[in-house]
Every structure is written in structure tokens, then in C-alpha cells.
Amino acid sequence: MAAKTERTFIAVKPDGVQRGLIGEIVKRFEQKGFRLVAMKFLQASEDLLKQHYIDLKDRPFYPGLVKYMSSGPVAAMVWEGLNVVKTGRVMLGETNPADSKPGTIRGDFCIEVGRNIIHGSDSVDSANKEISLWFKPEELQSYNRHPRVCVFCFVLF
Ligand SMILES: Nc1ncnc2c1ncn2[C@@H]1O[C@H](COP(=O)(O)OP(=O)(O)O)[C@@H](O)[C@H]1O
Ligand SMILES: [Mg+2]
């Protein structure tokens, strides 16, 4: 399938915030070339988180997951760019940090599945649902990042 410009919902979870990893995570998405579309810092309600994780409602870890996610502030973001949903997931690593390769966010910064520091949408559909759950349309910014030009061939990248 052709690569497409998409948006994804990324959140630094309460443990990531406690560990001081917001800047590191923003840096990785920014330096990769994705565009920040929205960002807010909030302690999410259990209702919001139950909705966010509704697909997991029958899993045994669901109540604990909702409690953990509502235990402190999270940094909620929307990032945009070519194939950002899939590439974002690659940058995160696997759900279980033990299966995540070094170089990925979970591979580099955590060890437990129940404390895996970051959320990222797993499909374009869930990204759209999550973005509208966490953000109002007017909170999403539209702009262009300053283009970089190859000095040899003048191609924008
Ligand atoms: N077996 C588990 N035990 C405890 N928490 C879990 C477990 N599996 C998943 N979780 C938590 O639920 C979150 C959502 O699960 P899932 O959507 O499957 O993973 P991902 O966050 O990689 O999309 C995980 O990021 C993790 O915080
Ligand atoms: Mg998921």
C-alpha cells in the first residue's frame, strides 16, 4: 500500500512523565521529521481512559490499566506525517518491553508491560477515534514545518 500522510495519537503515560521522559519522546518524533499537531498535559479521568481502552475491557488487566493511566498526568499529543501510525509503532517497540529492540522507546527505557511509558495508536482508524476522544478539532494545528532543501539537488525533504 502507498505511504500516506496520517495522524497518530501518542501519549507519555504517567510512569513516563514521572521518569522525566517527555522531552526525550518529543525529541524522537520531532527529529524523525514528524509534525506536532497538538499537545496537552493533563490528569485524565477514569471515564476517558475506560473509553480510550474500551477494546481491552474484557482483559484481566483492564481495571489496573485504567487506574495506572489515571494515577498521574500524561502528555497527550497528535503527530502527523507520512505513515506516522505504523512508523510511530515501530519507534515505540513492542507492547512488552522485554520483546522491544534496543533503539525503540520501550526497548531503551522500560522493562515491564504494565509500566511501558508510552501509548501509540495501532491503526489509522483507532488514531482517528483516539484523537477525537482526547482533543477538540480547534486544538489541532495546521502548519508546515520549515522545509529542508538538499544543497546539491534542491529537492525538498
Ligand atoms: N499482560 C498485561 N499486563 C498488564 N498490562 C498490560 C498487559 N498487556 C497490555 N497491558 C497494558 O495495556 C496497554 C494496552 O495494551 P495493547 O493495546 O495491547 O498494547 P499497546 O499499548 O502496545 O497498543 C499496554 O500498553 C500496557 O500498558
Ligand atoms: Mg493498543
95 lines ligand 1 (CB under 6 A): yes
Q: How far apart are CA 25 and CA 156, in angstroms?
A: 25
Q: What is the pLDDT of residue 98?
A: 98
Nearest to 124 by CA among 78, 84, 95, 79: 84
Question: Residue 7 is inside which H or E element, if any?
Answer: strand 5-12
**CA dihedral of residues 27, 33, 38, 44 (deg, nearest 10):** -50
DSSP code for 151 = T
Residues with CB under 5 Å of ion ligand 2 are: 122
Tell me the average pLDDT across 101-121.
98
Residue nearest to atom 20 of ligand 1 (CA): 95
Nearest to 119 by CA among 46, 8, 13: 13
Q: How much of the chain exceeds pLDDT 90, in percent?
A: 87
Given a contact cutoff of 8 angstroms between Cβ atoms, the answer to whether 68 and 49 are in contact is no
Binding residues for ATP: 13, 61, 89, 95, 106, 116
Nearest to 9 by CA among 103, 74, 62: 74
Active-site residue, from 119, 120, 121, 131: 119
Q: How far apart are CA 46 and CA 39, in angstroms?
A: 20
For residue 44, pLDDT beyond 90: yes
Given a contact cutoff of 8 angstroms between Cβ atoms, the answer to whether 85 and 121 are in contact is yes
Q: What is the pLDDT of residue 157?
A: 67
Q: Is 52 a catalytic residue?
A: no
Residue pLDDT, tens place only, 48-62: 999 999 999 999 999
Residue nearest to atom 6 of ligand 1 (CA): 114
Residue pLDDT, tens place only, 69-81: 999 999 999 999 9
